Amino acid sequence: MENLGGNPAARHADGPASAGEGAGVTRRHALTVAGGVLAGAALAQTAFPAFAAESQDADAIVVGHGLAGLVATAELAAAGRKVLLLDQENEANLGGQAFWSFGGLFFVDSEEQRLMGVKDSHELAWQDWLGTAGFDRGVDDPSGQDHWGRKWAEAYVDFAAGEKRSWLYGLGVRWFPIVGWAERGGGLADGHGNSVPRFHVTWGTGPAVVEPFEKKVRAAVADRRVTFGFRHRVDGIVTTGGAVTGVRGAVLEPSGAARGKPSSRTVVGEFEFRAPVVVVTSGGIGADHELVRRNWPARLGTPPKSMITGVPAHVDGRMLAITEKAGGRIVNPDRMWHYTEGLRNYDPIWPGHGIRILPGPSSMWFDATGKRFGTPDIPGYDTLHTLRSITDSGYDYSWFVTTQKIIAKEFALSGSEQNPDLTDKNVLQLLSRIWQTPEPVERFKRNGEDFVVASTLSALVAGMNKLTGDGLVDLADLKRQIEARDREMDNPYTKDVQVMGIRNALAYVGDSLSRTAAAHKILDPDAGPLIAVRLNILTRKTLGGLQTDLSGRVLDAAGKPVPGLYAAGEVAGFGGGGVHGYRSLEGTFLGGCLFSGRLTGRAAAAATAF
């Protein structure tokens, strides 16, 4: 396998490594080139400075070996380009955050939806996207923050309703046949949320999404079209005459750290590599809580003092500032996506490691003081509205009060490692969910510090107050609220919005089969024991980022492309600096990396055509 090995100090700032030093790349002229045609639109011509052949290390440098970086690299290599793929982490982390994901993908009018009796359409999906995104920052102004994000959104929904599934299917990706109904929204047809189930879980979860692109890149490494640069931390983007001409940075000491584990930042050398195109695919800011707090918007309330972390420590946002210094424009930095149902991992991989509960609709949700949340703060409905309700409560946590019957059917945990049946494609283990609580959920119930289990409500409340040490939950008041909800279960109709949602979910065959427990009273002894789960705020996704046009070219403050500079994935707000607007429909983060990586890789390949 090719990589930038040998003496790291040989790749220093005085010049790039030669082919004889094992860099594994052929140096080529970087001449003035014209942009290609992408997605039916002619690209504006982009001029690159001419250099002697020996001054070039590659046709393109990709910074970040997560999913977007792998897809962009695969596209560049398929077009015959020589690519340097750099990352500060070691080879074990190839695939980045996508590897750890549940593998959820957003499709529109898919075969799986039709099998479940779901009637979906491009028109309905676009209605949902617009109602969710709430684009309102200069949509019609080419210099507006939402101008390109909305264009990317329109292109992405076209993709999700068009060739996305067939493209991935052709690469060997498959999906669990029951489609999930995530982020159900705030209650109006043209408002936030998915009108129908669209969350397709990949058979093999996140690793199976990464696999076909990793294979393509490794094949290109074998053919000497791609060179890996593990442990190469980019500290600056090099510009010459107003155009990007390469990157420079530090070589970090070799690391044997396992995937996701923190690695050394000891510097053992320097490098500077040159190429006419640099593609930044370095991810978001979720592991840097102070950076999250600095960008926290007032609309989400007071930034939490305590959060847990849904991404590895290397998701540090460094390349955003570095790319901005090179002329790129950052837009919508206040838009972010953090989960409200986080559990402290009893067996952490990275610092502060949190796991999200993917809940069904039945658990009762209370703030830290034991006050039940109102609509739309119902499990699985409106993540950011609930986040604001939690911060407004004055506390950084909330509670599910639920039953064993509910968690057995409705609790799933995010992450490939928390779903060994799906990740390992073990059909028998998957079928065991029919008659027993999934073992990862049971392990968290036994070992996780956020679970309280009791046979009576009084014992449950005592355990809740002991866990937090603040005595905020009053037994009589909690009992009153639960009994009021339970009375609403006596008829097939109700005024309780959550109970309406439960019955609505049971009307969907996918939910009734796998994600919603039979309607029952929380205090029914036959459904017990009772369970309370302390829910923590879990950092995850950056929805804003580098503004890019539909070719993935990074734009400057004047809205003009920075010559030679491209971006894809989370660092670009999954496209355009904010394809999601304010909120997400879920299943769109991996898809955003796939789509933006593909378009950007193809555009960069066209721009370096000779």
Q: How confident is the model at residue 2, as a pLDDT?
A: 54
18-22, 23-27, 521-525: which has the highest mean pLDDT? 521-525
List % helix, strand, coil for the chain (3-state, nearest 5). 35, 20, 45
Greatest CA separation for the chain:
81
Q: In this structure, are residues 329 and 576 in contact, taking their beta carbons and an 8 Å threshold? A: no
Stretch 236-240: mean pLDDT: 97
Can you give the pLDDT at residue 302?
A: 97
pLDDT of res. 435: 86
Dihedral of the alpha carbons of 393, 396, 401, 403, in degrees to the nearest 10: 160
Question: Can you tell me which residue has the tokens 């027993």?
Answer: 436
pLDDT value at residue 380:
96
State residue 434's pLDDT score: 85
The whole-number average pLDDT for the span 468-489 is 97
Q: What is the pLDDT of residues 167-194, one digit of tens each?
A: 999 999 999 999 999 999 988 999 999 9
Inform me whether the pLDDT recorded for 99 exceeds 70: yes
Q: Which residue has the higher pLDDT, 429 or 20?
A: 429
User: For position 186, what pLDDT does the model report?
Assistant: 80
In the chain, % of residues over pLDDT 90: 89
Other beta carbons within 10 angstroms of residue 386's beta carbon come to: 22
- Which pLDDT belongs to residue 610? 73
Q: What is the pLDDT of residue 3?
A: 65
Closest CA to 528 of 444, 450, 456: 456
Rounded to an integer, the average pLDDT of 227-248 is 98
Tens of pLDDT, residues 551-570:
999 999 999 999 999 999 99
The per-residue pLDDT for 4 is 66
Token digits for 428? 């028998």
Say which residue, 186 or 82, is predicted with more confidence.
82
Task: Say what the pLDDT of residue 49 is.
Answer: 39
Least-confidence region, from 48-57, 441-450, 598-607: 48-57
Q: Where are the alpha helices (DSSP H) in 87-246?
A: 96-100, 111-115, 122-133, 147-161, 164-170, 205-222
418-456: per-residue pLDDT in tens? Answer: 999 999 999 999 989 888 999 999 999 999 999 999 999
